[in-house]
Amino acid sequence: MIRSHKIRSIPPLFGVGYATPHHATPHNATPRHATPHHTTPHHTTPRHTTPHHTTPCHTTPHHATPHHATPRHTTPRHTTPHHATPRHTTPHHATPHHATPHHTTPHHTTPHHATALYSTPRHTTPHNATPHNATPRHATPHHATLHHATPRHTTPHHATPRHTTPHHATPHHTTPHHTTPQHAKARHATPHQTTTCHTTPRHSTPCHNTPHHATPRHSTLKHATPHHTRQRHATPHHATAHHATTHHTMPHHATPRHATPHHTTPRHSTL
């Protein structure tokens, strides 16, 4: 009875005075799953209580063995694959970083740099062969065909009287025609006097520059030579050199369809 009381009283004092019982329970958590020998006697009240107080060396082995023992400190901490293997051999650090498709395959090999940037037809082919860059821009529609061969830009500008004659000849002929009316009479006496409708509106209405151009179109060869030749000094760029050429004179004077009806017919027909 007394012994039981002593045993029951000593453990609290022993626990308070020493850190062994207090540190033993949480300290044995790790070796507990490894060494069942230590767990069982430590928690068994009848067997653990008696030898614990009777043999003072039990306190020392309790701290020394679990603390320095292999199962608790050495094995789990240094040999467990948690620290050694996963850290240096686990594919999380080694393999994925250098061999995982995250870095090697998609980033440096096929999709990002090799295939997509240099081989994929999205970047390479369209830039050099796709009709967006190669064909329409450099080959046919934009520079080659449209700008130099298409009759919209090239032909009308040099041959068609629509673009060349009324645009370049009219404004330039207008100025010398009105600026020097006295010279115009002397030079254009025959061509203008021949056409009665052109003589009157030409002198009466100074704004009738178009009728002035209509006359060479109607007179064709008769008025083309003297008109452009004498007007050459007044309009040195577009009058003679650009329109008096045989290549431009024929379509210019022989095609009253677009030039004559547009500039002469509405105004001179009324007058």
Task: Check whether 70 has a pLDDT greater than 60.
Answer: no
pLDDT at residue number 9: 62
Q: Could you give the 3-state DSSP secondary structure of residue 178?
A: helix
Residue 42 in tokens: 């430590």
Task: Flag whether 239 is in a domain.
Answer: yes
Task: Flag whether 215 is in a domain.
Answer: yes
Confidence of residue 82 (pLDDT cuts 50, 70, 90): low
Query: How far, in Å, CA of 46 to CA of 255, rounded?
Result: 130
At 26-41, the pLDDT tens digits run 555 555 555 555 555 5
Q: Which residues contact 255 (CB under 8 A, 6 or more apart)?
A: 160, 161
Q: Among 220, 221, 242, 219, which residue's Cα sits nearest to residue 173?
A: 242
Which of 46, 62, 78 finishes a domain? 62
pLDDT at residue number 260: 52
Task: Flag whether 235 is in a domain.
Answer: yes
Task: Flag whether 51 is in a domain.
Answer: yes
Query: How far, in Å, CA of 109 to CA of 115, rounded?
Result: 8
Task: Flag whether 32 is in a domain.
Answer: yes
Confidence of residue 186 (pLDDT cuts 50, 70, 90): very low
Query: How far, in Å, CA of 134 to CA of 142, rounded?
Result: 10
pLDDT-above-90 percentage for the chain: 0
Which of 34, 62, 90 finishes a domain? 62
Between the two ends of the chain, the Cα-to-Cα distance in Å is 149
Task: Flag whether 76 is in a domain.
Answer: no
Q: Among 191, 185, 203, 179, which residue's Cα sits nearest to residue 253?
A: 191
- Residue carrying structure tokens 């041959």: 159
Confidence of residue 224 (pLDDT cuts 50, 70, 90): very low
Which of 62, 82, 111 finishes a domain? 62
How many domains would you assign to the chain? 2
Task: Check whether 154 has a pLDDT greater than 60.
Answer: no
pLDDT at residue number 108: 52
The domain containing residue 47 runs over which residues?
Answer: 2-62
Mean pLDDT of 73-98: 52
